[in-house]
Chain A
Amino acid sequence: AQSVSQHNHHVILSEAASLELGCNYSYGGTVNLFWYVQYPGQHLQLLLKYFSGDPLVKGIKGFEAEFIKSKFSFNLRKPSVQWSDTAEYFCAVNRATDSWGKLQFGAGTQVVVTP
């Protein structure tokens, strides 16, 4: 079945460590790609998105993601995390053949940053 896979369900790391969260999708064709974040007690917020152009996308709060078409991947990275990055992170894909806003979400990765 077509899907969006996030490799890790839970990640625990210390402040200043580097973070990389994997995301793979199984759709062929053109896709739009997103990373959303949900901080504790808050709503989902957009971190970054890729529609076309430079496959290295920079988002808010020092996050970036790289689209590798040949690997069907859109991994999220941050060189040095802070305690405030503790949150759940969701990768999402919109197929170009689907309506706008119809996103396929991964199951999410819970990230805990320890002081």
Chain B
Amino acid sequence: NAGVMQNPRHLVRRRGQEARLRCSPMKGHSHVYWYRQLPEEGLKFMVYLQKENIIDESGMPKERFSAEFPKEGPSILRIQQVVRGDSAAYFCASSPPADPGELFFGEGSRLTVL
């Protein structure tokens, strides 16, 4: 059973460009979570999604950030008009329906904004 797959692993963008990060959950997992890790800090929750639904977006910045988990395909975290402060590691996690509290993490996508 393949783990949580994230791509790209590394992404470089210039200020003002868009960044799209993708996450394929583990097989059979229907819950997806996005976390952000800034340098020297712990992971910060951003959003929790189930297929076609945003369940909890209390950690998402109000502007420029959006997330989706369509019926088919990976979950996407989209950052519009990136700024230097968006440089971070973005981690995706998934969990099975029967045990939504146990998270399985991907290896992360590292975004660098020049």
Q: Which residues of A come within 8 Å of B, CB atoms?
A: 4, 32, 36, 42-46, 49, 51, 90, 92, 94, 98-108
Contacts and interface: CB of A to CB of B under 8 A. Distances in A.
B48 A102 contact: yes
B45 A100 contact: no
Contacts of B59: 102
Nearest to B56: A99
B28 interface: no
Contacts of A45: 105
B4 interface: yes
B41 A107 contact: yes
Contact of A105 (B44, B101, B108): B44
B31 interface: yes
A14 B93 CA distance: 33
A32 B101 contact: yes
A104 B42 CA distance: 8
A94 B101 contact: yes
Nearest to B102: A46
Nearest to A4: B42
Contacts of A98: 56
A68 B40 CA distance: 27
Contact of B107 (A32, A43, A105): A43
B33 A101 contact: yes
A108 B42 contact: yes
Contacts of A36: 105
B31 A101 contact: yes
Nearest to A38: B105
B61 interface: no
Nearest to B55: A99
Contacts of A92: 43
B3 interface: yes
Given A101-B48, A101-B103, A43 B3 contact: yes
